[in-house]
Amino acid sequence: MKSYIRLFTLFVFAATVGACEKNAVGPSYEKIGTSTSTNAFITVSPVSATAPTTDTELTITLRYVNVASDPAKSLVLKLREGNGDFTTIQTFDESNQSTGVEHTRTVNYTVTQPAGTSLTFRLELTTQVEFPKLVDRAAFPVR
């Protein structure tokens, strides 16, 4: 009896597999540009349950690895207040930096926004490719 059950199961499996159709070839795509995979990081301090407050000075640290296959051109620090647009705080020319090492830039920023304003800092690293690397620091409120 077990052999009949196995034979029946094998027959059903074969019929199921044989009835499958191939998927149609997907649509073609157009390559628009490339982006970098460079490691880049942004940190902001002090950010805590009680900071920052208005008139507090923040230290923003921007770090990236300048890879030889895609060297950096510029590093831009931007800020968005609430849901507004990003505005540039500072720009660094990175075109002459050595490759194969990590570079760090530090910016001091004084909070002028009133309490309750949400701040988002963005690091924008432009390299030889078409699209920049964007790294955002999660939004935090002014206390």
| 70 vs 27, residue with greater confidence | 70
pLDDT of 35: 67
Domains of the chain: 40-141 (2.60.40.10)
**Predicted confidence band at 1 (pLDDT cuts at 50, 70, 90)?**
low
Least confident among 76-85, 107-116, 129-138: 129-138
Q: What angle do CA 76, 79, 83 make, to 5 degrees?
A: 140
Cβ atoms within 10 Å of 140's Cβ, excluding its own = 17
CA distances to 51, 57, 105 from 46, in Å: 6, 8, 17
pLDDT of 7: 64
pLDDT(118) > 90:
yes
Mean predicted confidence (pLDDT) in 129-136:
89
Q: How far apart are CA 142 and CA 135, in angstroms?
A: 21
pLDDT of 18: 59
**The model's pTM:** 0.76
Q: Are strands 57-66 and 101-110 parallel, antiparallel or unpaired?
A: antiparallel
| 11 vs 97, residue with greater confidence | 97
pLDDT of 30: 74
- Give the pLDDT confidence of 36-83 residue by residue, as tens digits: 677 899 999 999 989 999 999 999 999 999 999 899 999 999 999 999
pLDDT(132) > 80:
yes
- Widest pairwise Cα distance in the chain: 84
